[in-house]
Structure 1
């Protein structure tokens, strides 16, 4: 059946899968160069199938039932097509298929797309990214339960108000075990992840309109905090008299001298340490986040820490290069480290990476191109965020300039 140059309904059988003269019956919907096939869960006698009429020849019971099914299916699909056009909705082959199968957008819920997305990313994204999506999904569920007093919501019920209400919920939410309420940028990250999930539903045609179409994230520009040299030395030299804090300090300092992230550090084994082209010990690994290969010549302080844990029970059991601690615990313990060392900054593990980029490398004249390679950045623009001028470096450079100017005598 054709209603225009773009829409057609075709019935066909699987000739290559005929068994005992029985062939599976299918209907094909074609619309705007897009074709979808639907199994009608019915078999017809292959020798009686007439592809020109798309009917089963004869008057047997099986023939009559098959031909009735074909007529009913044709009418049903065409009716869906007419209904959608009458409602001024965008008609697609996939939408007609979902409507025919009773899987229209009204039947799909937010939890459906959350589950679909979870299965989609489990083998394609890094553990850290999957974990972040999981946290966002947890907050969506809490919002539905605590604010909307429901466990589900249809995708077509999502709108701009839902987004704003969810944002307000997050802004007023204080995560358990966290020392601070959720920051503005953290809320934006959760909304960005939800937008990716809902936009996927839109592309799957599970929802007619993208509720995020008018939403734009607003990130607050923040200085990337880091430790200066005196603060780093204070943490390095402090005697905690506590094995737990001692281990956390060592992991943090190792990152300060290698630039490696917490997630990447937990994946390290002894096999990642090998001799480099200069015959010295290097760290050969790749970033979980970007898959970029990283080669890091190990500085003396990093080597000291590796030697300390070479035969440590925690590394022997886990076969890891360094003791493994969860991200939540390591950041919690770092608050204790900061208090004991009288560090007034909000000490987090990621600050070690910033310290490596700023205090350890760039401030000591390491070219930004080299730092970018050491950090595993795929774009040097990412590294340029760290290229700030420190006050002590500024003073040092200007003192050197002043000395040169005092000794400078023009040729007369």
Structure 2
């Protein structure tokens, strides 16, 4: 009777700490170790269970549940793949028996490698691999949504050119043609405000950036990806950093709403203007995360430890809701906070600049129209800058790098510029 066992070789670990999973096929006292081609983190291999287990030795607590779930999802991808390869070997053995052939180890290995070669030839289609990349990703749902948009754009490019692209075809000329399509030819979706062709420069940039992430993911897994990843330029136009000034934040905080839903969403938004948490972390914040007058938690998105000292205002809001903040989807939250800011007359005009194919258009709108949960983080970082808190300290609080903070989150109002100029001159 044929048997298959999964194992690793401790003397064959690469510089990344990875090792290949081998399949030990046995039949009639003959065995053969066959490479599955699957690379796993060597330290996470459970030899007795023949599985990847990243959580072994880690005690489960309330605070590390999200991290353990992430490990579980990641392990499931590896273990499912290993299970499929084991099943493939047994299927080959059974097929040989039906053909009245003895499934000796050498013959089964030969058939298995032939099968792998055929699969490889049929599985280098970029679009199909993109779907697998998204499914196996352990990133947040927001990041996965961006990946799905990038996959949709690739699908539309294939429809536009009436071709299905394989990995080896993705060279720099292909990238140039893809960018031209995104700038000028792609039809805007049904949800777009303005119908027509071509998407904004920053939308092109996001799609190209996620294409690079996808290609790097495949290259790290030994797919035949052309050596162009670091040469792909990601177009990006820096946007004006919009945030609430201290005066506007007080105006919003002190406004009396007649409808409870606007009061609740205002309270959550204001609290975040004083803490700078991502929305995913804000929604799971509870009393267990409050230690010695500060929020201590691990960020869901990047698993960095956050430490946010609580001042009086956010402490009051947390106590008001007994440390159980109102829960809303981010989409509904963004709709309600706009309406709340409109009622509180956050009406200062801000200039929006849209760039498509290098062509700029300008529009002035009242600030309440552009308020989202993300603006709370920008407000927090900008107020920290105004109060003299160093970017390094803000980086430790928010879990964002100093470079990202300065480039995308730190805004300075005119009054702060005046104060600093007058102090110097």
TM-score grouping bracket, smaller chain normalisation: 0.5 to 0.7
- Report deviation, 1:68: 11
Matches within 5 A, 1:315-394: 321-340=324-343, 341=345, 342-343=347-348, 344-345=366-367, 346-359=370-383, 361-377=384-400, 379-385=401-407, 390-394=413-417
Give a deviation string over 1:336-363, Cα, whole Å, max 9, x none. 234332242322221111111112x221
Retained in 2: the 8 A contact 1:248–1:334? yes
Matches within 5 A, 1:6-21: 18=26, 21=28
Higher relative contact order (Cα pairs below 8 Å, separated by 6+ residues) = 2
Look up the match of 2:284: 267
Cα separation, 1, equivalents of 2:200 and 2:421: 38
Give a deviation string over 1:289-317, Cα, whole Å, max 9, x none. 3322122221222122212222xxxxxxx
Task: Please identify, of 283-292 and 129-138, the stretch whose mean Cα deviation from structure 2 is larger.
Answer: 129-138
- Report deviation, 1:282: 1.8
1:129 aligns with 2:143: yes
Look up the match of 1:54: none
- Report deviation, 1:326: 1.7
Out of 173, 183, 189, the residue aligned to residue 206 of structure 2 is: 189
Retained in 1: the 8 A contact 2:299–2:305? yes
1:23 aligns with 2:40: no
Look up the match of 2:183: 168
Give a deviation string over 1:110-147, Cα, whole Å, max 9, x none. 3321232134323xx344433432343344445556x4
Matches within 5 A, 1:13-412: 18=26, 21=28, 23=30, 41-42=92-93, 97=113, 101-122=117-138, 125-141=139-155, 144=158, 147=160, 153-156=165-168, 158=170, 159-160=174-175, 163-164=178-179, 166-168=181-183, 173-174=188-189, 176=191, 183-201=200-218, 204=221, 206-207=223-224, 209=226, 215-274=232-291, 276=292, 281-310=293-322, 321-340=324-343, 341=345, 342-343=347-348, 344-345=366-367, 346-359=370-383, 361-377=384-400, 379-385=401-407, 390-397=413-420
Look up the match of 1:316: none
- Report deviation, 1:367: 3.4
Retained in 2: the 8 A contact 1:282–1:295? yes
Distance verdict in 2 for CA 1:120–1:169, change over 3 Å: farther
Q: How many residues are treated as equivalent by the alignment?
A: 323
Secondary structure, aligned partner of 1:103: helix
Give 5+ residue unaligned stretches, structure 1: 1-13, 30-36, 44-60, 78-96, 311-319, 403-412
- Report deviation, 1:109: 2.2
Distance verdict in 2 for CA 1:27–1:382, change over 3 Å: closer
Task: Please identify, of 258-267 and 331-340, the stretch whose mean Cα deviation from structure 2 is larger.
Answer: 331-340
Cα root mean square deviation, aligned = 4.3
- Report deviation, 1:202: 5.0
